[in-house]
Amino acid sequence: MNAPHPQKVAGIDAAVPAPAHTAAPAPVTAGTAPVPPPHAPGALLQDRLAGWVSDLTTLHELTERLARTTSLDEALQELLRAGAALVGARRGLVVLEPADRQGPDTTIGLGLGRADLGHIETVPRSATSFGRILDGLPGGDHEITEPDLFAGDGPDPRHREVAARLGYAASYALPLSAETGGRLGAAVWLYDEPAEPVERQRHLIGLYARCAAEHLARLLEVERTRACMATIAEELLPSRLPRVAGVQLAARHRTGPRGGGDWYDALPLPDAALGLAVGAVTGSGPSAVAAMGRLRASLRAYAVMEGEDPVAVLSDLELLLRLTEPARSATALFAYCEPALRKITLAGAGHCPPLLVGQRRTEFVETSVSAPLGMLACWEAPSVELQAEPGETVLLYTDGLLHRTGDPVDRAFARLHAAAAGVPRSLRRDPDALVDHVLRTVLPDGLDSADSEEDVVLLAARFE
């Protein structure tokens, strides 16, 4: 009768070689169990199974850590760290250069600084393992092992010079290719001494690299979509702020990965006046960005025709929104400014009140409570007049600034007020410095640039 074959695990060949000879049975003492010889097939099988379980556990942990990464840079760093652990290296680099030439192209190092990566880039591309992979040169379609860069004639002289300078003597490179996205780039790990990964290490890193490439392909599409949406949103906003006598302007805009509907505008008006507007369209993604562009363009037209009456401007905008975007609502605030008189007339539709920042006062402007545009059959609310003092700044913003804090609304308003009141006197003369300080204070620790569904807009006007 044939003995059953051991089961294969995760594609690893589970065949066990037959022993070369049969060992004599060990003597059995009464009352004790027989001890199998150290090279018995059962012991070999147990050792091999234990190795497979250990390898699979390691791969599972590493792929789980990789799957938790949400940005391309974070995933590339995790790829380098995990690969270094699998092949027994300390340093490495990954070159992201998608074959479709649509970017983004980047190089990230592990244990290598910017200067080190710069030195490696001085090596002729065809002399580097990642260059041969990325350019499709002979041998670049699979792993490239260079166990001793200084043995014999070695590689390109410049490569040897750079290797000696950076202190590495061997390298192991793998292409990063996904089934859907094709070639994405190449990863290279560097050894301090002549070395190369053994067959087991190559098998593990090969499995991990295939999984990593698919994850990178997904993140790459997300990154491209995000960059595309950010570009479209920025193109729909002012390319530069106008120069108007008697007032200095500054603006900041942060958008989420899907693109949102928050916007701002500043436009010169007849009689040396200035129109300021901020608003937010409900929703996110391409449709919200498109709706934002239409509303902003319409508001500019209404502001030119009847900007001295902010209520009329927002009433016209509400009618347009109700007729053309019946399933969407929006908040908006429009201010008609006369810089020579430092006089501001404003009206808001469901929008946050502006903040007045000066040397002697920091306070919210009291505006009438009103519904957002598109929420009522007919919108109208009284306007508010404000007289600014010389050197005071009016700060307009969207509610995304408050929502990104994660605090309740009242605490978020208090945080914004404290941030504006705490602007150093030396910065209050510069609206750019003022909005940067407020943004960093209200959203510390990178919250202003972190991925979020909430857009952020700040528009500051300092009156001289």
> What's the CATH code of the domain at 272?
3.60.40.10
Q: Which of 229, 264, 289 is the last residue of a domain?
A: 229
pLDDT given at position 6? 39
Separation CA 328–CA 279 (nearest Å): 13
Q: Are 165 and 119 in contact (CB under 8 A)?
A: yes
Whether 342 is covered by a domain: the verdict is: yes
pLDDT band for position 310 (cuts 50, 70, 90): very high
Determine the average pLDDT of the residues in 264-274. Answer: 95
Is the predicted pLDDT of residue 119 greater than 90, yes or no?
yes
Whether residue 393 sits in one domain with residue 265: yes
Whether 219 is covered by a domain: the verdict is: yes
208 contact partners, CB below 8 Å, separation of at least 6: 59, 62, 63, 82, 83, 86
Is the predicted pLDDT of residue 305 greater than 80, yes or no?
yes
* Strongest mean pLDDT among 12-26, 172-186, 267-281: 267-281
Q: How far is CA 161 from the centre of its chain?
A: 36
* Strongest mean pLDDT among 2-6, 9-13, 224-228, 386-390: 386-390
Whether residue 311 sits in one domain with residue 266: yes
The total domain count for the chain is 2
Mean pLDDT of the chain: 86
Whether 44 is covered by a domain: the verdict is: no
pLDDT in tens, 72-81: 999 999 999 9
Q: Are 265 and 300 in contact (CB under 8 A)?
A: yes
Is the predicted pLDDT of residue 20 greater than 60, yes or no?
no
Whether 392 is covered by a domain: the verdict is: yes
Whether residue 425 sits in one domain with residue 284: yes
CB-count exposure of residue 24 (10 Å: 0-12, 13-18, 19+): exposed
pLDDT given at position 39? 56
Whether residue 441 sits in one domain with residue 322: yes
pLDDT given at position 379? 65
Whether residue 205 sits in one domain with residue 333: no
Separation CA 274–CA 284 (nearest Å): 29
Whether residue 219 sits in one domain with residue 261: no
Q: Locate 88 and state its tokens.
A: 């027994």
Is the predicted pLDDT of residue 453 greater than 70, yes or no?
yes
Is the predicted pLDDT of residue 459 greater than 90, yes or no?
yes
* Strongest mean pLDDT among 29-38, 139-148, 235-244, 409-418: 409-418
SS (H, E, C) the chain: CCCCCCCCECCECCCCCCCCCCCCCCCCCCCCCCCCCCCCHHHHHHHHHHHHHHHHHHHHHHHHHHHCCCCHHHHHHHHHHHHHHHHCCCEEEEEECCCCCCCCCEEEEECCCHHHHHHHHCCCHHHCHHHHHHCCCCCCCCCEEECCCCCCCCCCHHHHHHHHHHCCCEEEEEEEEECCCEEEEEEEEEECCCCCCCHHHHHHHHHHHHHHHHHHHHHHHHHHHHHHHHHHHHHHCCCCCCCECCEEEEEEEECCCCCEEEEEEEEEECCCEEEEEEEEEEEECHHHHHHHHHHHHHHHHHHHHHCCCHHHHHHHHHHHHHHHCCCCCEEEEEEEEECCCCEEEEEEECCCCCEEECCCCEEECCCCCCCCECCCCCCCCCCEEEECCCCCEEEEECCHHHHCCCCCHHHHHHHHHHHHHCCCHHHCCCHHHHHHHHHHHHCCCCCCCCCCCCCEEEEEEEEC
Whether residue 310 sits in one domain with residue 242: yes
Whether residue 100 sits in one domain with residue 176: yes
Q: Locate 366 and state its tokens.
A: 């009291």
pLDDT in tens, 379-428: 677 889 999 999 999 999 999 999 999 899 999 999 999 999 999 988 99
Whether 80 is covered by a domain: the verdict is: yes
Q: Which of 211, 229, 247 is the last residue of a domain?
A: 229
Whether 63 is covered by a domain: the verdict is: yes
CA nearest to 202, candidates 144, 256, 242, 163: 144
pLDDT in tens, 376-391: 766 677 889 999 999 9
Whether 11 is covered by a domain: the verdict is: no
In this structure, what CATH number is given to the domain that contains residue 152? 3.30.450.40
Separation CA 376–CA 273 (nearest Å): 31
Which domain covers residue 153, as residue numbers? 57-229
Whether residue 455 sits in one domain with residue 321: yes
Q: Which of 229, 246, 273 is the last residue of a domain?
A: 229
Percent over 90 (pLDDT), the chain = 60
Is the predicted pLDDT of residue 458 greater than 60, yes or no?
yes
pLDDT given at position 34? 53
Is the predicted pLDDT of residue 22 greater than 80, yes or no?
no
Whether residue 364 sits in one domain with residue 266: yes
The one-letter amino acid at 352: C
pLDDT in tens, 194-243: 999 999 999 999 999 999 999 999 999 888 887 887 777 777 788 789 99
β-strand partners of 460: 250, 395
Separation CA 463–CA 390 (nearest Å): 6
Whether residue 246 sits in one domain with residue 216: no
Is the predicted pLDDT of residue 114 greater than 60, yes or no?
yes
Percent over 70 (pLDDT), the chain = 89
Whether residue 440 sits in one domain with residue 389: yes
CA nearest to 311, candidates 278, 340, 348, 339: 348
How many Cα atoms within 13 Å fall on the side-chain side of residue 17? 4
Whether 441 is covered by a domain: the verdict is: yes
